[in-house]
Structure 1
Amino acid sequence: MNTDSKNVSNSASKEDNDEIDLMALLFAILRGWKTIVFFAVLGLIVGILYSRYVNPTFRSDALIQIEENSKGVAALGADISELIGSQASKAEAEAELIRSRMILEPVVNLLHLRIRLSDPNISTIDKIKNNSTDTQINKPEGVSLETEDGKVEVSQFNVSQDYLNQPFILTRSATGFVLSNGFDDFKGQIGKVHQFRGTDGQIQITVNDLPADGYPINITKQSLQTTTEQINTELSVVEKGKQTGIIQLSMTGANQQQTSLILKQIVLSYIDQNESRGSEETTKTISFMETQIPTLKKKLEDSEAIFNEFRKKYGTIDVSKEAELLLTESSQIDVQLNELKLKKADLTTYYTEEHPLVTQINEQLEVLNTRKQDIDDTIVGLPEIQREFLQLSADSTINREIYLTLVKNYEQLKIVKAGQIGFARIIDLPINNFKAIAPKKLLIIILAMLLGSMLGTMLVLLKNMLRNVVKDPERLEAKTGVPVVATVPRSPLLTRLRRSNKKAPNRLLAYVDNNSLSYEAIKSLRTNLMFGMPAQGRAGQRAKVILITGESPGVGKSFISSNLTEVFAQLDKKVLIMDADMRLGELHKMFSMSQDNGLGDYLSQDKTHLSKDNAHVSKIVANQEDYLASFIHPTGIDNIDFMPRGQHPRNPASLLANGSFDHLMKELNLHYDYIIIDSPPILAASDAMILSQYADKVLMVARYDKSIEGQVVYAVNQMNKANIKVDGIILNDVQQGLLSKYSYHYSYAYGNNN
């Protein structure tokens, strides 16, 4: 064969192995369908219970628009707009602001969200049974909770710092209520405000209603931080789209009306704060003006009173043209000075003296004051009465102008403030739709079933990997080096009989299912053994001895031994079947006989009375035959005798090795054509190694899909170490079907099926 053909052959062989492995994996999963179905059903049950255990969850939504600028001030004119700074905000920043304690704290206080009520009498079974449980309702009037024995209403519950987040138990008493934290009991009357002093501080509570006497209610006062964190876990604030300025608020909760109410108050709290922030500068300016108007009004009234008194005393005085010009200029300077002083006072509300705008106004004031001083010096030369007249007239005029200007601006700012609405507006307030968004019961059930199925599949595969059971005869032969001489299928009829009556004795296939594949496989095994054994037994003896054992209990060696005995008896051969498992042998149940007077009893008897003197050989032989006959029992089946296990001795292995068994086998060889020995499992006892010395054939039984390959290999190795050859392996209880990859090892039933 050339190199190319070798490579093609190796590649094809590798593909076949891969296909076999994948097929084996698939068949392993299909064979474990019961486990997978069990976990799928278990997942279904868990999913149903969980979907009923969890309270329904509802959601409420609201929309807020964030505008770039407030346009209310600009609409009144440029002069007023200069007094108010422009406002701008981004939706992302506002979304974070909504989640802050500044916005949430007023809502928490209004709805008493820090008070938590719960019913400890509701168990898990109650939640599953009722499908949903009542939750507390928070309103401005207080907190309430419905229970099976009545309603809880608490309108006030304030505690000191050390009592925060600590649970209290509230119960109705004959005189009112009892509030307990496990250390202190506080008693009060329903409907009245009570203030208690406990170990850790003050407690103030008002209880309006409670369930029946003795029904406990858990009540807790949470800290503000804990409450706002809980709200934020249920609150979602995101910008809808990109750069839209639309903020979507969503909140989830166990009660639709409660959730909508809380979200509505959050929206209103934010809008109130936004409007207050938008008119903050206007409010400060109005406040400043309100403090200056009375002062200016008083100053105007004083100046007018002095001027009127002067005129009453001296009458009207004519002033020259020059004096009038100076007076006019001085009046204008005074007006400018007062306007600059007013503007400076407004600026210093927000800026320091070092600000450029303030510095510029100071320079202008200095120039005007210098000019005013020059005019005053000029006017000094005028006659005293004229000068005084001019001075009083100017003071009155200036004060009147300043006062009227300030009152005008004050009224205008009040109009501006009334028109300012902030840069956020409500688009949609939350509404109640009473449509639960969770739990999605169908989805939960499907996912639970899938997870259960996946878990079952993983367990099947894990079991298949960790517990490599016997399934493939070729693989078993390759592992052990021992040929599989027979594969015995499971008898469906016998299996049904055993399941229908577990206490019924085991039965031979010849009398239960003689047309089955199982029975034909036993006959095939007989044929194999007939042609595989010499014409005579060991050392020219008459009997041919077949030892049947297994690697572990429960592989069906007694089933194989008894049925193999029956098919050998059909050849008109004298057959003895011996139950050599003196510990747990149950071969007597196959023949519906007693276990008494068997091998264990024979080996345990004292035989010292049997002399070895040649003079008495004939007498000894006669005595020995009579003695042995008491431990061998007819089965009622032609050509078959049975030697049960007898009573359980203390040292079975020692009894087999002390020579008595050797003497027994010599006697039995004289009377039987076949002796079939059912021995204990190899890995459970060493009896099989001792018994193998007397056997012409040593057969090991392994059970399909139960015996572990490693144990079978180890058992064969243990026999080989004792210089005992295992002549063949019988694969018992092989199950045929579509899920079995090795069903081609079955024989075909050929005969009468009537």
Structure 2
Amino acid sequence: MKNTSKSATEDDNDIDLLALFLVLLRGWKIILFFALLGLLLGVLYTRYVNPTFRSDALIQIEEGSKGVAALGENISNLVGSDASTAQTEAELIRSRMVLEPVVDALNLRVRLSDPTIGFIEKIKSNRTYTQINTAEEVTLGTSDGQVVIKQFDVSKDYLNKGFSLVKSENGFTLTNGFEDFKGQFNKPYQFNGTNGQIRITVAQLPDNNHPVNIYKQSLHNATNAINGALSVVEKGKGTGIIQLTMTGPNQQQTTSILSQVVQSYFGQNQARGSEETTQTLEFMETQIPVLREKLEKSEAKFNEFREQSGTIDVTQESQILLAENARIDAQLSELKLKKADLTTYYTEEHPLVIQINDQIEVLNNRKQQIKNTIQELPEIQREFLQLSEDVGIDREIYLTLLKNYQQLQIAKAGQLGYARIIDMPISTFRAIAPKKLQIWLLSMFLGTLLGAVLALIKSLLRNVVKDPERLEEKTGVPVVATIPRSPLLARLDKNKASRRLLAYTDRDSLSYEAIKSLRTSIMFGMPEEGKSGSRAKVVLITGESPGVGKSFVSSNLSEVFAQLSKKVLVIDADMRLGELHKVFNMTQDNGLADYFQKENHNLQDVVHPTTMENIDFIPRGEKPQNPSSLLSSEKFSSLMKELSTHYDYIVIDSPPVLAASDAMILAQYADKVLMVTRYDDSIEGQLVYATKQMQKANVNIDGIVLNDVRQGLMSKYSYHYSYAYGHNK
């Protein structure tokens, strides 16, 4: 049981997917329309937008600064490395510190535009002019000539406010809609407006009164515009190589701006690279004269002491103490120099400064111990040691500082900073966008997707008749016949196919065989006698709405009954819009309506023989005002009784159920009531409602005839007539 249930579920899923696929196939016109519409919009978009160009540059960030290294390995280690990471440098490149000089150098705050270029013009031209900024001028091409602006500066209140420039007879006119300023070409002007001053120099404007829009951007907006088009990323992880990429609508402009950004950053980097060395040199320049003066004083004092006391032998122990004390003083001097250098960058609380203070304290303690030992020596010897030590220390400090000063000057002369330009931007003049083929395919795909969604929505909103089994389930009425469409009949007269008989146009078709099958079904289901014991069997043909093919079924069913040598009468009971007379190549005159309205008309006047053997026909006649009342009259009842004695079969073609109540009235005379509906055209809900209306009137519908069934992949339920027999092809 489980396997059977699972298999049934899989079959249902397959059917649902197939049904979904067939719904899309049936809506191929909608899908194709929106696919082509999407493609058209994609083509228009690619013609509307300007091409986008790109320029690239590469910068290498090297390790560390070389400035403090000239002071010696120890100081460099204490100060630490100030090497900037690539990510930090990337943010610096995007900063206003770097971008503001670019904006000023290329006059990027001046913006020009052509107000005459609209949506249609952009599509027609496929590419519009874009402005080009240089250090000397800002230019923009138009259809009537070029715009050249040498200078344009405004007060703060005029920033980001639009102005219009137009060429005049003697020069130009600048206006903002409220104020007009006039001037001549190639002359600088300063206008005083209500919101401040305007300085402008115009070199050239288009002819034919072609207007040009101009405004001055704020510095913030200008740098943001550059940032919006600029990408700065590190190539790879830890490579130290930064790639700068800029995009824009003009290759020349894009390359120029990116080159200026690279130069601005490189200049800033050079200045930052030598800043540390410059500060160190300035500090040394202030200390060298002080140390030289101190050395001269200590030497003079020592020489004076020697002259007064003569030569003194210093013992070996004293020499050792003197040498150690000299080394301590040298170390103290070096540490003090380091501390002085560090305090130019850090506070007293910095770990490096604290570390140096601790070292100084240790050396001072040792120095105090040596001093105590020396104090035990004879007074003259002690003074000699003290003066000799002072001279040695001062000389060592002075010479060390002078040596470092010379080395740092050499280092500064060769200092290059830690950024290196690898590749400068170049112009390729190859547009990177729009990618036309991709946009066309994407827009067509989106259009197709939209069309598919609309086709599905249409299918959900308009649930047409397709599945015979579903019809039987919804209405409770069996589908007694499915009549395929006759391709030949449809080709002969596409708009009037129902006005031709299959016996003369396509007698070997599946449609004709289906009509014969319907005849067989009716014959086997008929009572032996008609209603009230009459001779004729009455078949009522109706439908839920107009255009379902009632007349086609009625006329062809009558013809196949006549083949059995049965006397058949066809009545066009649709006295409002019936057109059954056209099938038999007759007029509507002297018909059923005339039988009721004209007293001199009898049965012989309204029953007309046709060109086909055993078939008579009653047309609808002249349109009456109250058809339903006429059909409910005793006169029509008498007419049916009389006709039943002369014919074997009477086929009545009635108006649609949802259009008139005539079918319910005529059903009381019928032995068989058939409801005709059109495949893939009739609305399922209307058919269900029509059958319920008939059932409420106590009319039993004997069967549904599914007309105009199309075969093929697009018709899921065409398997009802998938095979032909005999001469059909």
Q: TM-score, normalised by structure 1?
A: 0.78
Q: CA deviation at 1:695?
A: 1.9
Cα–Cα, structure 1 residues 218 and 13, in superposed 2: closer, same or farther, change >3 Å?
same
The residue type paired with residue 444 of structure 2 is M
Match of 1:460 among 446, 449, 455: 455
**Number of aligned residues:** 678
Matching of residue 490 in structure 1 with residue 476 in structure 2: no
Cα–Cα, structure 1 residues 541 and 189, in superposed 2: closer, same or farther, change >3 Å?
farther
Matching of residue 158 in structure 1 with residue 133 in structure 2: no
Q: CA deviation at 1:596?
A: 5.1
Cross-structure match for 1:545 = 538
Aligned equivalents of 2:247, 2:515: Cα separation in 1: 71
Cross-structure match for 2:705 = 730
> Secondary structure, in 3 states, of the residue corresponding to 2:451?
helix
Cross-structure match for 1:429 = 424
Matching of residue 716 in structure 1 with residue 713 in structure 2: no
Aligned equivalents of 1:691, 1:159: Cα separation in 2: 91
Cα–Cα, structure 1 residues 561 and 354, in superposed 2: closer, same or farther, change >3 Å?
closer
Cross-structure match for 1:24 = 19
The residue type paired with residue 736 of structure 1 is Q
Cα–Cα, structure 1 residues 160 and 660, in superposed 2: closer, same or farther, change >3 Å?
farther
Deviations 1:116-161 (A, max 9, x none): 2222333334433443322211211222112221111122222333
Q: CA deviation at 1:700?
A: 0.8
Aligned equivalents of 1:529, 1:98: Cα separation in 2: 91
CA contact (8 A) 1:599 1:644 kept: yes
Cross-structure match for 2:212 = 217
Deviations 1:437-495 (A, max 9, x none): 22222222232333333333333333334433222222322222211111111111121
Q: CA deviation at 1:732?
A: 0.7
User: RMSD of the TM alignment (CA)?
Assistant: 4.3
The residue type paired with residue 100 of structure 2 is E
Deviations 1:248-283 (A, max 9, x none): 111112222221211111111111112222222334
1:116-195 map, 5 Å: 116-195=111-190
Match of 1:446 among 432, 441, 444: 441
The residue type paired with residue 578 of structure 2 is G
CA contact (8 A) 1:344 1:361 kept: no
Aligned equivalents of 2:105, 2:415: Cα separation in 1: 26
Q: Percent same amino acid among aligned pairs? A: 67
Cross-structure match for 1:41 = 36
Cross-structure match for 1:586 = 579
CA contact (8 A) 2:251 2:429 kept: yes
Cα–Cα, structure 1 residues 738 and 193, in superposed 2: closer, same or farther, change >3 Å?
same
Deviates further, 95-104 or 67-76: 67-76
1:506-521 map, 5 Å: 506-521=499-514
> Secondary structure, in 3 states, of the residue corresponding to 1:279?
helix
Aligned equivalents of 2:79, 2:4: Cα separation in 1: 91
Aligned equivalents of 1:722, 1:209: Cα separation in 2: 89
Q: CA deviation at 1:574?
A: 4.0
Match of 1:97 among 73, 92, 95: 92
Q: CA deviation at 1:545?
A: 2.3
Deviates further, 486-495 or 226-235: 226-235
> Secondary structure, in 3 states, of the residue corresponding to 1:241?
coil
CA contact (8 A) 2:502 2:512 kept: yes
CA contact (8 A) 2:68 2:276 kept: no
Stretches of structure 1 that go unaligned for 5 or more consecutive residues are 1-5, 304-317, 326-331, 368-399, 608-622
> Secondary structure, in 3 states, of the residue corresponding to 2:12?
helix
Cα–Cα, structure 1 residues 747 and 341, in superposed 2: closer, same or farther, change >3 Å?
closer
1:307-456 map, 5 Å: 321-322=307-308, 415-456=410-451
Cα–Cα, structure 1 residues 559 and 713, in superposed 2: closer, same or farther, change >3 Å?
same
> Secondary structure, in 3 states, of the residue corresponding to 2:178?
coil
The residue type paired with residue 451 of structure 1 is L
CA contact (8 A) 2:70 2:408 kept: no
Cross-structure match for 1:62 = 57
Cα–Cα, structure 1 residues 162 and 600, in superposed 2: closer, same or farther, change >3 Å?
farther
The residue type paired with residue 543 of structure 1 is A
Cross-structure match for 1:706 = 681
Deviations 1:361-408 (A, max 9, x none): 999xx99xxxxxxxxxxxxxxxxxxxxxxxxxxxxxxxx999999999
1:578-657 map, 5 Å: 578-595=571-588, 598-600=591-593, 603=596, 605=597, 623=600, 625=602, 629-657=604-632
Cross-structure match for 2:391 = none
Q: CA deviation at 1:69?
A: 0.7
The residue type paired with residue 175 of structure 1 is N
Cross-structure match for 1:112 = 107
> Secondary structure, in 3 states, of the residue corresponding to 1:96?
helix
Deviates further, 407-416 or 239-248: 407-416
Aligned equivalents of 1:745, 1:530: Cα separation in 2: 21
Cross-structure match for 1:530 = 523
CA contact (8 A) 2:610 2:616 kept: yes
Cross-structure match for 1:576 = 569
> Secondary structure, in 3 states, of the residue corresponding to 1:494?
helix
Cross-structure match for 2:389 = none
Aligned equivalents of 1:752, 1:401: Cα separation in 2: 126
Aligned equivalents of 1:274, 1:584: Cα separation in 2: 93
Aligned equivalents of 1:601, 1:174: Cα separation in 2: 88
Aligned equivalents of 1:221, 1:344: Cα separation in 2: 51
Matching of residue 244 in structure 1 with residue 239 in structure 2: yes
Cross-structure match for 1:264 = 259
Aligned equivalents of 2:76, 2:458: Cα separation in 1: 82
Cross-structure match for 1:676 = 651
The residue type paired with residue 322 of structure 1 is Q
Q: CA deviation at 1:241?
A: 1.1
Stretches of structure 2 that go unaligned for 5 or more consecutive residues are 297-303, 312-325, 366-394
CA contact (8 A) 2:498 2:551 kept: no
Deviates further, 243-252 or 212-221: 212-221
Deviates further, 576-585 or 150-159: 576-585
Aligned equivalents of 1:651, 1:180: Cα separation in 2: 78
Aligned equivalents of 1:344, 1:12: Cα separation in 2: 88
Cross-structure match for 1:198 = 193
Q: CA deviation at 1:337?
A: 14
Cα–Cα, structure 1 residues 340 and 563, in superposed 2: closer, same or farther, change >3 Å?
closer
Cα–Cα, structure 1 residues 595 and 141, in superposed 2: closer, same or farther, change >3 Å?
farther
> Secondary structure, in 3 states, of the residue corresponding to 1:220?
strand
Aligned equivalents of 2:212, 2:635: Cα separation in 1: 82
Deviations 1:34-67 (A, max 9, x none): 4434433333333333333332222211111112
Cross-structure match for 1:561 = 554
Matching of residue 476 in structure 1 with residue 471 in structure 2: yes
Aligned equivalents of 1:526, 1:643: Cα separation in 2: 21
The residue type paired with residue 464 of structure 1 is S
CA contact (8 A) 2:42 2:444 kept: yes
CA contact (8 A) 2:711 2:722 kept: no
CA contact (8 A) 1:286 1:410 kept: yes
Cross-structure match for 1:312 = none
Aligned equivalents of 1:354, 1:322: Cα separation in 2: 48
